[in-house]
A and B are shown apart, each in its own frame.
Chain A
Amino acid sequence: MKKASLVSFLLLTACVTINIYFPAAATEKVADEIIKGIQESQDIPPQSQHQNAALPEWKVSLFRAIDSGISLIISSAHAEANLSVNSTTIRKIRSSMKSRFPALRTYYIQGVIGINVNGLLSPHGNVPLKARNTVKKLISAENNDRESLYAAIANANGHPEWHAQIKATFSRSWVKHAQSGWWYQDGGRWVQK
């Protein structure tokens, strides 16, 4: 009886800690996809597609088996989470950013806006008076959307504390996807790509 109690006690007190690390690689991939989607002319698909839907059953079964196998091998102690970007809020922000992009591109090309060190937009150089209101409002709306997007992605994945890391990842991706001639800040110094 005493042995049984001891085992029960050990079982109850044995705690498995699962640390979900920030999915850096997945975030980078998501950032690339989202920015590409915004800066390309195609429409954003309403939501991510289940690619396996059109696969033959045997392939689906095979992939599922492989997936289960991988899950067994990966130690739960250092699992890296996937990143979901499928929520109404995220789709809404992406749609808003996508429709704003053609107007932004004009000013990227003119060099009157640039990507600052935080991955947000800033006015660059002397913005012509005629364009000042438009540029100001575009920058404000875009920066609001970018911040909201990072928060929405963090929230959609149940980790609001990832906001800063998501922002930093996106910040690099915005520069990566900047087109030739656009301005960005590198260590606080404006550089033309």
Chain B
Amino acid sequence: MPARTSTVKTHLFGQQAFHFTLKVKNQRANFHLSHLKLFGGTINLTLQEKKGHWTAKLQAEKINLQKIHTFLRLKSLESLSGKATLSAQLSGSKLSHLDKAILSAIVTELSAQDISGNLASEALTLHSELKLERQGKNWQWQTQQRLSKGAFYIDPIYLDIEKAQPISLKASGSLDSNNKAITLTSVSLKHKGIAHIDAKALIHYKKTEPILKQADINFYADNLETISSLYLAPFLEGKPIQDLSLQGNLSATLTIENQALHEAHLNFNSLQLSSKQQAISIEQLAGSVYWNHLWENKQDSHLYWQALSIKNIPFTASQLDFSLAEQQLNLLQPAKLALLDGILSIEKFDFNLNAAVESSVTLRARLDKLSLNELSAAMHWENPLSGTLSGYIPSVNYHQKKLTLEGGLKMQLFDGEIRISQLAASGLLTDFSQFYIDLEFENLDLNEVTKKFPIGRIQGRLSGFAHNVYLENWQPISFYAWLGTPDDDDSRHKISHRAVRNIASLGGSSAADVISRGVLSWFDDFGYDRLGIGCYLHQGVCQMTGAAAASQGYYLIKGGGIPSIDIIGFNTRVNWHTLMNRLSRITANNMVVEP
């Protein structure tokens, strides 16, 4: 039959003109249809049949996906647009049996979005190919997919393909329809120049939801910097370490059984890790980390770093050896970490991340002669301290997200001692940290103290305490503190003119003027018997006390010797911020505050 041009008018497709031929001769049938205009594109179809064997070739060019979307009214898609060129080659031995299929598609300018907004693309270019072949009762298949242009969003990951190199997937496997199983004999997913994944897997689809029965996955990260920004950062968004960045390379092997991770092994070299937000950085981190879902299958893991900095405190090169299995981490042997010219010895560390109950931490550590001068430099303190910090922490307790340290620390400074105890903290990595501490001050040399803090020279000794100190975002909220001359102090008690004026001005009184103008202005130093200041901070107000009770207030300085001076505070309730402002102005300006 010669080629004919026909015109058909249907309700769905409107008026269509196309060419077709049909030949039936010697048990052979040929049907050819061409120039069918559908969905904005052109469709050609060829069908051949000979003694029960048939082949079909379909070519569809420049199909407008938006028109398909309008026609099909897909409820799961909010929008769909783009152009597609499709080809299909199908063949079978019987009319009702498909034996082989080769399908390919090139989709350009693919922009789509699902109803939830969690899947979306912009101007994607996708090359797709699928080959299927029946072998007995099973199907063998191979597929190749390649994204070479555009951008897509799969919640929470956004990728701009043009900027971030093409992504390709090659996979092959078989489909056992009797056992309802898909075997992935080889899967290779590559993000060019960034990472690639090789995997094997077995999937069961006996139930409605497919089950990943078994998978072996090898992951190679060639460029961790790009991986962390493209793949890791979206998951960390809104978390305390959302700015975490990684550099270097890493390889990992994962084993999954029945949809659960059973084993993981990570190897890395020359890894750089940093978070400016949390002031954490690690340089040249190398390691081998092994995890198993059963504790009895645990293997040793090791971490080694050239330099580590936590909250600007530098640690020199060290190594940690540990076991990691189930939800537990155990230190295998004591670790000695060098920092601030001293040593932090971690004698025992176990961490159990048990989400069902509560995470628990076991830590026994010793601090040996950490330099306070080095600490001051690391913390950028304006008045660097000299002395050392030592201590023993027999255990820590983690309860309701609050970390409590047993034992205590001792600071040897100002020729005396400051003891730290009842240390606890929560939310240290968040934007609302809470900190608890008790301090005991013993026999500090005031001459040394006033050299560091320019309140004015004072000679004598200072003891006291700050109990139940509670800080929010490092701002004091409540405490009970007293600092003053120790009862048995027999040292020389002298206070400079400037120190008297500054202490007087702390009360906001006009005493400073009196001292400046009167007879007292003739003296550089005064003698004193006792000095002291106390504060019970509650609800933003300091309930003040001093060295001793006075008739209508309290002695900040009780005079003694010649010439002597008394400073009495009358304001028993002082706004904490007002007090801090006065103190900071004194120490910042190194001058007397005008009342």
Chain A residues packing against B (C-beta within 8 Å):
45-50, 53-54, 86, 88, 91-92, 95-96, 99, 123, 127, 129-130, 132-134, 136-138, 141
Contacts and interface: CB of A to CB of B under 8 A. Distances in A.
Interface in B142-184: 151-153, 155-158, 160
B156 A96 contact: no
Given A132-B120, A138-B238, 9 more contacts: A49-B540, A49-B577, A95-B432, A95-B473, A127-B117, A129-B153, A133-B153, A133-B158, A137-B238
A21 B296 CA distance: 63
Contact of A129 (B120, B475, B540): B120
Given A47-B477, A50-B575, A91-B432, A132 B117 contact: yes
Contacts of B152: 129
Contacts of B434: 88
Contacts of A49: 540-541, 575, 577
Interface in B202-250: 234, 237-238
B153 to A, nearest CB: 4
A88 B471 CA distance: 11
B233 to A, nearest CB: 9
Q: Specify the main secondary structure of chain A where it touches its partner.
A: helix
B573 interface: yes
21 contacts: A45-B540, A47-B539, A49-B577, A50-B573, A50-B575, A53-B541, A54-B574, A54-B578, A91-B432, A96-B430, A96-B432, A129-B120, A129-B152, A130-B158, A132-B120, A132-B155, A133-B158, A133-B237, A136-B155, A137-B238, A141-B238
A48 B575 contact: no
Contacts of B431: 95-96, 99
Contacts, number: 79
B9 to A, nearest CB: 38
Nearest to A48: B540
A151 B239 CA distance: 23
A129 B122 CA distance: 8
A54 B356 CA distance: 50
A136 to B, nearest CB: 7
A92 B540 contact: no
Contacts of B476: 46
Given A130-B151, A132-B120, A132-B153, A137 B237 contact: yes
Contact of B540 (A50, A123, A130, A133): A50
Interface in B539-585: 539-541, 573-575, 577-578
Nearest to B508: A54
B575 A54 contact: yes
B109 interface: no
B472 interface: yes
Contact of B574 (A47, A53, A129, A138): A53
A49 B475 CA distance: 14
A129 B577 contact: no
Nearest to B575: A53
Contacts of A92: 427, 432
Interface string B360-378: 0000000000000000000
Contacts of A138: 238
A136 B117 CA distance: 10
Contacts of A45: 540, 577
A123 B237 CA distance: 17
B152 to A, nearest CB: 7
A88 B472 contact: yes
Contact of B477 (A46, A50, A141): A46
A150 B472 CA distance: 21
Contacts of A86: 539
Nearest to B111: A129
Nearest to A52: B573
B575 to A, nearest CB: 4
A63 to B, nearest CB: 14
Instruction: State the 3 A-B residue pairs at the shortest beta-carbon distance, nearest first.
Output: A133-B156, A129-B153, A99-B431
B315 to A, nearest CB: 28
Given A47-B477, A54-B574, A134-B237, A129 B539 contact: no
A1 B539 CA distance: 52
Contacts of A95: 431-432, 472-473
B402 to A, nearest CB: 12
Nearest to B430: A96
Contacts of B430: 96
B558 to A, nearest CB: 24
Interface string B446-477: 00000000000000000000000000110111
A138 B239 CA distance: 11
A136 B152 CA distance: 16
A47 B540 contact: yes
B114 to A, nearest CB: 12
Contacts of A129: 120-122, 151-153, 158
Contacts of B238: 137-138, 141
A129 B123 CA distance: 12
Interface in B416-447: 427, 430-432, 434
A136 B120 contact: no
Nearest to A129: B153
B430 to A, nearest CB: 8
A92 B431 CA distance: 8
Nearest to B117: A132
Contacts of B578: 53-54
Contacts of B156: 133, 136-137
Contacts of B477: 46-47
Contacts of B573: 50, 53
A133 B432 contact: no
A129 B120 CA distance: 7
Contacts of A48: 539-540
A123 B120 CA distance: 16
Central interface residue in B117, B152, B574, by most chain A CB within 10 Å: B117
Interface string B471-485: 011011100000000
A130 B160 contact: yes
A68 to B, nearest CB: 19
A86 B541 CA distance: 14
Contacts of A137: 156, 237-238
